[in-house]
Each structure stands twice: as C-alpha cells, then as structure tokens.
C-alpha cells in the first residue's frame, strides 16, 4: 500500500479514538505534550509519527499500540479503509475535473463517518443498478464530454495538421484505401482481412491490433464506412502519440480510465477526419435553410461522407453546440432484437442538462411513441438497409418539446438485431431561428413520456403497462396534502 494511504488510515484511527475519549485536539496536545498542529497533520494523513510518539499516544489514550498501528478499521470506518486500500483514488479520473487527490483525502480525513455513509450509499446504488467499473469509467467520460459541450478544439486542430502533413483533401470524402496506404507506408502496418473470420468467438469484433508485429486484423464482412473509421482511429492513436490504448474494436474490457479517455480521443479524431468540420457546416447550412424538411438529407450525408449513421449523428453533437449554438441536445442509441418487445438504451449523451428521454429507469417500458423505437420497429418489419424518420416529441409533464431525427440500421454483427441512433434538439427560441423547416406539416408532433410506468398520457394506444409508479406518486401526494391540512387545522 502507498505511504500516503498508510498515513491516512493511521490518522483516521487516531481521530476516531480521540473523539471517543471526548478529547479536543487541544486536550490531546496537553495530555501528550505534542503540538496541536503536529497532531492535526497526523489526523489529516499528512504525517506519520515515529515509534516513540505512537507509543506515547497509545499510552495516554489507553489503547494497545498494535491496535493503533494496525491497518484494520472497525466496522464504522471499514468501507473507507477498503476504499483507500483498493487504490480507487488512483483509478478515478480526478485530474480530468480539476480535482487534486490530496483534496479528496482531506475530505475523507475531516469527516470520515459521513464519507463512509456516502460511500456505502454509492456502493448500494451501484449494486442495485449493476454498475461496474466500466460503467463508472464511461459515466466519467460522458460527464467530461458534457462539461466540454462535446467539442474539443485541440483534436479538431490535430486533424487539420494531419491532413496538411499527409496531403489528405478535406474538401471531399476520405476513402479507406487512402488511409490504408498511410497506415502501411508511414506506420508499418500489415492489414489482415482473413484471420478474424476463423474464430467464431470473435464474431462481434470489427478489428484487433497486434502491437508487436503492427498487424491490424479486420473483420472481412465490415462495410466501407466501418473500415474507413477503423483506419482513421488507428491513425488517431499514432498521430496523437497515444500509447495507453485498447487493442480491440469494439472494446472487450477497460483496464484503466486512460484507456477509456484515449479511446474517445482516437474516435473523436476519426470522426473529425471522416467528416471534416468546415465541409459538414456547409451541408448543415443548406439543410437548415430549407423551408421544407428534406428526408433524404441525412441518408445522403451518410453516403457522401462514407460514414455510418452513428458517426454522422455523433459528429453533429460536436458541431451543432459549438458552431450553431444549439447546445440543448441529446444523442441516444437503442438496440432491439426482432420479434422481441424489448428496447435497450446502449449509449446516451446529454448537453447542458439531462434531457428526456434517458436511460436511468431499469426494468421499465420505454415510451413506444419515441421515434427511436418506431424506426426500429419499421426496419425489423421491412428489412430495409436504413430507415430514417423525424418527429417533434412533446413531454406534457414538463412542457418541453424536441425536434428528433432518428436512423435505424441492422446490426452487422448480430443476426436479427437492429440499432437506432437519434439526435434530439430542444425546441427553443434559438432553434426556431436556425431551423427554417420547423413548421413543415410533414413533421408530426407526438405527446410522449419517458416510461409507461411514469406516463400520464390517457388512452395511449401503444401503452405497455399501466402507470403504476405515477399512480403511487399521486397517492403519496394526496396523503401529504391531507397531512398538511390536518397540521394546519390542529396547530
């Protein structure tokens, strides 16, 4: 265990014994002859006393020497000790949010019992929602993206530098052949399109990099857009000088947060290379200026940029907040298996605040009026390659409305499974100024909820279950109102 954590655990135990004896720091100082400032630094985990000082403290506090120096904490502080011994502070991306590790340790030292209660609560919540380390890392990354409005100027500039250095024309679509040549000639890659197909267990992988031989194994059945993104991401790892990285796509597991963050950086680089900022802005300008909604626009963009719908929608979450000041938006990805009645949110991003819909309701039925779900139902029924739709979603409970674009495609790696990606824009004064086709009657408006269990929409033709949670909340509210009335009546 690191020395800092040993100091902190000793400090926690000393403070716990002192407070049980109802001694102030001043009182302990008088009792032992040690200065108040020195004792304070010990309790905060900044200093570890020498053997003679520990013996003196044990004698005056009437506790065994071995008990004081033991790393074992009693049941009240055990979770804090486990937290410290696990070195979880080393795994938390504290620096990403401008937090020093020493600040967090000070918080633990100053209020260990309260911190212990907080930690225990977080652990129980994590267990309830099946929230593992990967979930925590991804949640941290999502918070980082949201805090930066999902726009990273340094990465945008890196793409421009790369394009200049390698004479890549960002005025048109980048091809996989062009990027493959750079990987082979500049970075010494060997591309293998056959090996992954030999292993059934690797059916869900699109690529795998072997660093020792610089061999990139690529799934044979991926399309041109997926291949282009994989190559662009590999180039991103090298051009951004990233060593701590993941070697499979999609990822199997994360060993630390740096891998999560670097995976995001390389992916952002790839998206900005495949869909250049200046070029996409010209297309967005044209799209938003049209008085009628052009349903072919997003499909046409997907084909023009040699990009998947997900890459395109994710790229729009970079550009719209920064260049068009449309900051109130969300990105949502759902998955669905044919002939099932289950729809799962597998990825989401919310900018400025937590928008509806969102994926924090477990084992509840998401509203079937979402366009995200409707496009999945349609593509599962028709079997077409790409199904796109748009709607205005109005939430009666909070009075907010969103303009939502959604695209569904078949999952190329899972039979009879589909996924949809959606981009939702809050309808406010800024959006009304920017979007000329907002009042086009072809865009239907739907009253929607988040989940059926919490939805107040009456006579919903696609409701899956009754609004049991909403009814319970209403019942509790009525009870509270009667209690308040009685309090007033008899006070």
- Per-residue pLDDT, averaged over 448-475, amounts to 90
CA distance linking residue 304 with residue 63, whole number of Å:
75
| pLDDT of 458 | 87
pLDDT higher than 60, residue 115: yes
Range list of β-strands (E), 134-289: 190-192, 207-210, 215-218, 248-249
| pLDDT of 193 | 94
Strand partners, 28: none
| pLDDT of 361 | 58
| Most trustworthy range by pLDDT among 73-87, 95-109, 266-280, 356-370 | 266-280
CA dihedral 472, 478, 484, 486 (to 10 degrees): -120
- Per-residue pLDDT, averaged over 162-175, amounts to 93
Instruction: Give residue for tokens 């070697």.
Output: 247
- Per-residue pLDDT, averaged over 41-64, amounts to 91
| pLDDT of 167 | 96
| pLDDT of 116 | 63
The pair of three-digit structure tokens given for residue 111, joined into one six-digit string: 């209020």
Task: Determine if the peptide bond prior to 205 is cis (ω within 30°).
Answer: no
| pLDDT of 58 | 92
pLDDT higher than 80, residue 89: no
Which has the higher per-residue pLDDT, 211 or 78? Answer: 211
- Per-residue pLDDT, averaged over 454-464, amounts to 90
| pLDDT of 295 | 84
The pTM assigned to this predicted structure is 0.78
pLDDT over 70 percentage in the chain? 86
Contact in structure between 399 and 355 (CB atoms under 8 Å)? no
Contact in structure between 352 and 431 (CB atoms under 8 Å)? no
pLDDT higher than 70, residue 130: no
- Helices of type H across 242-397: 257-274, 277-289, 296-304, 309-323, 371-382
* Residue 20 pLDDT grade (very low, low, confident, very high; cuts 50, 70, 90): confident
* Residue 335 pLDDT grade (very low, low, confident, very high; cuts 50, 70, 90): very high
* Residue 55 pLDDT grade (very low, low, confident, very high; cuts 50, 70, 90): very high
* Residue 108 pLDDT grade (very low, low, confident, very high; cuts 50, 70, 90): low
| pLDDT of 142 | 86
| pLDDT of 87 | 58
* Residue 192 pLDDT grade (very low, low, confident, very high; cuts 50, 70, 90): very high
Instruction: Give residue for tokens 């996409």.
Output: 280
- What backbone phi and psi angles, to 5 degrees, belong to 389? -150, 170
| pLDDT of 200 | 83
pLDDT over 90 percentage in the chain? 56
* Residue 218 pLDDT grade (very low, low, confident, very high; cuts 50, 70, 90): very high
CA distance linking residue 486 with residue 471, whole number of Å:
23
- Per-residue pLDDT, averaged over 445-473, amounts to 90
Which has the higher per-residue pLDDT, 11 or 208? Answer: 208
Which has the higher per-residue pLDDT, 12 or 184? Answer: 184
| pLDDT of 144 | 86
Residue 27, H or E segment = helix 25-32
* Residue 486 pLDDT grade (very low, low, confident, very high; cuts 50, 70, 90): very high
- Per-residue pLDDT, averaged over 273-279, amounts to 96
For the segment 363-392, what is each residue's pLDDT rounded down to a tens digit? 789 999 999 999 999 999 988 888 999 999
| pLDDT of 69 | 87
């Amino acid at each position: 265990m690191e020395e800092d954590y040993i100091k902190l655990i000793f400090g926690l135990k000393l403070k716990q014994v002192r407070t049980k004896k109802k001694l102030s720091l001043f009182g302990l100082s008088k009792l032992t002859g040690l200065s108040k400032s020195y004792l304070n630094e010990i309790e905060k985990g900044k200093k570890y006393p020498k053997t003679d000082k520990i013996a003196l403290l044990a004698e005056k506090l009437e506790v065994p020497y071995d008990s004081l120096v033991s790393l074992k904490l009693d049941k009240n502080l055990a979770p804090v000790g486990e937290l410290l011994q696990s070195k979880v502070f080393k795994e938390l991306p504290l620096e990403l949010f401008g937090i020093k590790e020493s600040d967090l340790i000070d918080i633990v030292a100053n209020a260990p019992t309260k911190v212990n209660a907080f930690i225990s609560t977080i652990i129980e919540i994590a267990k309830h929602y099946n929230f593992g380390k990967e979930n925590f890392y991804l949640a941290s990354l999502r918070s980082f993206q949201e805090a930066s409005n999902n726009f990273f100027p340094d990465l945008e500039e890196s793409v421009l530098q790369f394009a200049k250095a390698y004479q890549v024309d960002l005025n048109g679509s980048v091809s996989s052949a062009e990027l493959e040549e750079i990987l082979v000639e500049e970075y010494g890659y060997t591309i293998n399109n056959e090996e992954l197909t030999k292993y059934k267990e690797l059916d869900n992988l699109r690529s795998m990099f072997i660093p020792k031989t610089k061999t990139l194994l690529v799934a044979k059945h991926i399309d041109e857009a997926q291949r282009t993104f994989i190559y662009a991401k590999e180039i991103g790892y090298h051009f951004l000088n990233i060593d701590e990285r993941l070697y499979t796509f999609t990822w199997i597991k994360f060993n630390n947060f740096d891998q999560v963050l670097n995976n995001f950086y390389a992916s952002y680089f790839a998206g900005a290379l495949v869909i250049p900022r200046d070029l996409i802005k010209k297309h967005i300008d044209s799209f938003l200026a049209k008085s009628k909604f052009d349903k072919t626009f997003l499909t046409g963009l997907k084909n023009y940029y040699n990009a998947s719908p997900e890459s395109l929608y994710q790229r729009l979450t970079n550009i719209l907040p920064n260049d068009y000041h449309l900051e109130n938006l969300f990105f949502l990805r759902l998955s669905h298996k044919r002939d099932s009645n289950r729809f799962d949110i597998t990825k989401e991003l919310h900018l400025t605040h937590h928008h509806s819909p969102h994926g924090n309701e477990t084992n509840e039925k998401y509203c079937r009026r979402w366009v995200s779900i409707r496009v999945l139902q349609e593509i599962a029924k028709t079997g077409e390659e790409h199904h796109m739709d748009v709607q205005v979603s109005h939430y009666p409970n909070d009075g907010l409305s969103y303009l939502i674009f959604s695209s569904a495609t078949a999952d190329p790696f899972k039979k009879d499974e589909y996924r949809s990606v959606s981009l939702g824009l809050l309808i406010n004064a800024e959006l009304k100024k920017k979007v000329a086709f907002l009042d086009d009657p072809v865009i239907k408006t739907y009253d929607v909820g988040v989940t059926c269990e919490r939805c107040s929409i009456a006579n919903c033709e696609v409701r899956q279950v009754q609004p049991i949670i909403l009814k319970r909340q209403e019942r509790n509210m009525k009870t509270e109102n009667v209690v308040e009335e009685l309090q007033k009546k008899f006070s």
